[in-house]
Structure 1
């Protein structure tokens, strides 16, 4: 039976030499299984008094095949051809027959007489690991996590036996919980990126019914290996995978692999985008449509409750999840959702404000949710509930920022506001959608935007949309003010505001609506004397009073301050704070300044230490020069003056005028609009 089903050519397989020498009186069948292992069945032939006592070795046909080594008549291969058996008197000539295989040469061989065969013995070439097999977990952080979960030390080896004898009902492989042991302030977003999951195949050796809690942040750098197959076949009870799902400038998680993971018994599935890559690197609308069947099947697994968490994505239609059973308790959490549309909004500045119609936003039943917004940042001073709902999906901004390039609107989020409308909560039977996020669209003004003043030109009053400002264009109906001739000193540098919001003035010394955030750094090009007082020119027609901050030197590289004894702390005004750096502690610094004649280093928002009280290593000054135009080579995140990540991005290939370089929370930025910054 074995001889008549397979071709006799094993040829170059790794079993040729072994079987020829050790199984000369046995029939052998080699099959390649679906998992890549090779099973070899060995059946001993019982000699008969009439059977041939030896087996001839025949030369394989040379045409239509690459097999060149001699083979025996008792071998079989995986090539699907026929082997004809004939009487022993005719073994010398190959016979060509027509078969359904791509190889048509059939060798006539002499078959031994085989009587009743005993049960076959199966030998698996790739044997499973023994209890002492050491598992090589490639990523060092992941390796430490696994050892911690098993109760091992970092010096211990991870073996199969450690998993087989694991005696708890829950196996926690949670990166944030693990890292919190050494850093209580760590979050999912600040976890150490895991470069490789290889080695986690060993989870399959955990005792049956062990509940696996899995949470890691995957890396997305060029060297990262995002292969999820080590998790195949592992039932995961609680699954959180943070990483880059949708930003093409970095490596992305493969959704084709994701949907092969076993979450059939899970109660939580979280897919969160990595904000270190971009603000909306999470699940997109198209991606949600792809993985929806996988999520719906999980949601309907009959557990008491199930959570689906989709953070930092760009989803506009949740109706693809309508298959969720409404009798189940399923909560769909969607936080920091950012939908950046390329559809422009054309508006005209007027006293009536800005009126627009929001883009469609659909819930799980396909219902319109675009009438639920209450917040916009397209104003000079954003505040909660500053968006007026007119009717349906129509909204009004009473005092828009006429220099804004983006129209933004949405739901502010409960991390900022405690108001009832800070989160959208929509019920679907026993299930719920909880959402906050923002939409953004390009904003195109049909009239001139805020004019720019030339400092040496007399200023006139002009009116645009009911607001007053400065203009270099003569106003035929306005009243000309007294010319101001400022005195300039060509001196550039960086200034940091004190621990409070600080207003700016124009060239005439008039207060502007623009404020600088507390403890923020700003590059200035010149020092200007206006009405007898010195100001720093931090922007176009924007000046900061010299007494409103301190000049300082940014530090570019990682610089550590070592305090051998307790060191007192001071504010940026030189006031002793009454607190100290602990003895034998190390601190990072991002800048130095001279305060009350003493050189100091900054160690916190408004905490400074004297340079002579600490040991310093590795300082380098940041250049205060900056490009006049910033071009976004990829989709680029935008930040506020306080370093807050905003709800929109710069489109790839767009160019923006830069009027200053600033340092916010130790990071350098270019300013491209009144309250919009990109990282330098």
Structure 2
């Protein structure tokens, strides 16, 4: 038989000078051993071209699962009752050598099943399969995971499937469900699949296992009039769109569309979620709201992803999977959808204060923002008391000040114009006031003495420093210097907090309630909730310790939080990425490589820049793009 040699630079073209005695070598020894067994050649003999040409049976079956079960690794006999899935095969590192099966007699067809390796040294070139007369072909491996070597689906167009009845392209791992075809690969290989379905054979099976397909419409045209089954029962759609959730409250979400062969949306057929507490792990634990919207109760607060869809053959109920027929064509599908789940302690509304040109209004050089925590999703809020900005007049409609808390963080932009100021000339004069004296001298009246008070004006370096510290005036009482500070209190100058940094910013508290102190370092009744953001006007020292000033006379210890920079967007992991809390402690969990996550900002944690991707979950900036 004359070989069908491909032209160009194909390195697997069979040389023209081969003879029946030419030895055929396989680059992968396991594949070579399986082919030798299929050809009924003793283990001690080589495979020759003559052995292939002289094969007399109508079918040559090379099934790697069957071979490995019949020839257990390490020797020994087959184990009764043992089983092996295609995904559990030992991966084939190279198909080189398979090209010689073109030399089989014309009447012989090949059944071939193997899982292709995806490691760094693997050669997953499919061209050794060109020209082989397949009756069944199963290729398992990595088609869509960019972290490993991917099978080039464009090479499938050169396969000889003119007499085939079974064609399977499946992902290569039961633990990596996205390794099969995705939408892009399906669209590229669809012409080959449609051509296979129309090859004139009486029935056809198309299996797309461990895939990640949300649009099956490229397969329109497989309805050939002959029997055709399209089976994708282990389909996982990874949607990077985050779903926000509030701890202890129901989660409502909208599923992305899932299109069948004719473009009909199947995303309205979901009934099951695995992101629940163990007591709720059952079919029909989703409430269908219509229009692909669902509500989930009893969600697992430790779940990192919202996973939902069809429970599949673990539950033999009509809604556990999709079974559609159109003429002689069957479409069978089980799909699960996975989206990042971002947990929040409360529903929130964030106010952005902007001027008439849309630019942020600055306070101490930083954009003015404020986040208000709610209680329950759907509760009303009123921002009227939070809308006052000294020197500005609100121009946004007052209707924008009220609304309801939603599951996703809500952002309200309030617009302002500068309030015209009336100018007047002022002369700084000593002001006589009546501060309480610390003297032990008794008075027959009130015990108060007149004291000369001097306003601080920023006309000298020393006065500028006092202004930076928040000092408005000075006085002497019994020979001791006192400051009048911004919150209307006289403070002994030797006790008053010194400004470490006059720069304002945002501090985010750690995962615990944080106490506050006043300017004297004394605890106050107000406390800050865990994992909340607070704008500070400056950093000061009180009795030798550093504090963020978060209100008029309220200071947060620096060790109770981390400075936070707001920058909303999406980051994508470059590798499997460990999760940390805001104090830099490992959470013992990680995010998968190549996944996208919403972030609302970053912080420097123990000297490392980290992005926040959940309530108190952070990932190093060096691990994302």
Q: TM-score, normalised by structure 2?
A: 0.53
Aligned partner of 2:575 in structure 1 is: 634
Within 5 Å, give how 1:303-382 maps onto structure 2. Answer: 303-325=201-223, 327-348=225-246, 353-381=250-278, 382=281
Aligned partner of 1:201 in structure 2 is: 99
Q: Which runs of 5+ in 1 are unaligned?
A: 1-32, 38-124, 450-462, 475-630, 639-647, 657-671, 674-680
SS at 1:269 equivalent: strand
Distance 1:384 1:649, change over 3 A: farther
Shift of 1:418: 2.5
Shift of 1:34: 7.5
Q: Does 1:401 align with 2:300?
A: yes
Contact 1:338 1:439 in 2 (8 A): yes
Contact 1:349 1:464 in 2 (8 A): no
Shift of 1:400: 2.3
Contact 1:142 1:194 in 2 (8 A): yes
Shift of 1:327: 2.2
Aligned partner of 2:51 in structure 1 is: 162
Shift of 1:186: 2.4
Shift of 1:171: 0.4
Q: Does 1:244 align with 2:142?
A: yes
Aligned partner of 2:289 in structure 1 is: 390
Q: Does 1:256 align with 2:154?
A: yes
Distance 1:393 1:637, change over 3 A: farther
Q: Write the distance in 2 (CA, Å) between the matches of 1:636 and 1:232.
A: 40
Shift of 1:649: 4.6
Q: Write the distance in 2 (CA, Å) between the matches of 1:34 and 1:306.
A: 28
Aligned partner of 1:65 in structure 2 is: none
Q: Write the distance in 1 (CA, Å) between the matches of 2:578 and 2:195.
A: 35
Q: Write the distance in 1 (CA, Å) between the matches of 2:512 and 2:155.
A: 60
Distance 1:406 1:650, change over 3 A: farther
Contact 1:319 1:366 in 2 (8 A): yes
Contact 1:634 1:652 in 2 (8 A): no
1:65-122 Cα shifts (integer Å, max 9, x gaps): xxxxxxxxxxxxxxxxxxxxxxxxxxxxxxxxxxxxxxxxxxxxxxxxxxxxxxxxxx
Q: Does 1:295 align with 2:193?
A: yes
Q: Write the distance in 1 (CA, Å) between the matches of 2:87 and 2:577.
A: 18
Q: Does 1:413 align with 2:307?
A: no
Shift of 1:177: 1.3
Shift of 1:246: 1.1
Shift of 1:637: 13
Match of residue 148, structure 1, among 37, 40, 51 = 37
Q: Does 1:274 align with 2:215?
A: no
Q: Write the distance in 2 (CA, Å) between the matches of 1:261 and 1:368.
A: 32
Q: Write the distance in 2 (CA, Å) between the matches of 1:322 and 1:433.
A: 11
Contact 2:147 2:593 in 1 (8 A): no
Q: Write the distance in 2 (CA, Å) between the matches of 1:277 and 1:379.
A: 20
Distance 1:34 1:421, change over 3 A: closer
Distance 1:432 1:438, change over 3 A: same
Shift of 1:276: 6.7
**Number of residues paired by the alignment?**
357
Q: Write the distance in 2 (CA, Å) between the matches of 1:637 and 1:167.
A: 57
Distance 1:389 1:280, change over 3 A: same
Contact 1:278 1:637 in 2 (8 A): no
Distance 1:653 1:375, change over 3 A: closer
Contact 2:134 2:164 in 1 (8 A): yes
SS at 1:214 equivalent: strand
Q: Write the distance in 2 (CA, Å) between the matches of 1:364 and 1:653.
A: 28
Q: Does 1:180 align with 2:121?
A: no
Distance 1:246 1:277, change over 3 A: farther
Distance 1:417 1:145, change over 3 A: same
Shift of 1:277: 7.6
SS at 2:202 equivalent: coil
1:603-662 Cα shifts (integer Å, max 9, x gaps): xxxxxxxxxxxxxxxxxxxxxxxxxxxx96436899xxxxxxxxx956558799xxxxxx
Shift of 1:332: 0.8
Aligned partner of 1:127 in structure 2 is: 16
Q: TM-score, normalised by structure 1?
A: 0.49
Over aligned residue pairs, what C-alpha RMSD do you find? Answer: 3.3
Q: Write the distance in 2 (CA, Å) between the matches of 1:279 and 1:435.
A: 15
Contact 1:411 1:438 in 2 (8 A): yes
1:380-436 Cα shifts (integer Å, max 9, x gaps): 12222211222231212132234433222111121x222232221111221111111
Distance 1:276 1:419, change over 3 A: closer
Q: Write the distance in 2 (CA, Å) between the matches of 1:236 and 1:295.
A: 14
Q: Does 253-262 or 165-174 show the bigger shift?
A: 253-262
Q: Write the distance in 2 (CA, Å) between the matches of 1:331 and 1:635.
A: 37
Q: Write the distance in 1 (CA, Å) between the matches of 2:195 and 2:207.
A: 15
Contact 2:156 2:192 in 1 (8 A): no
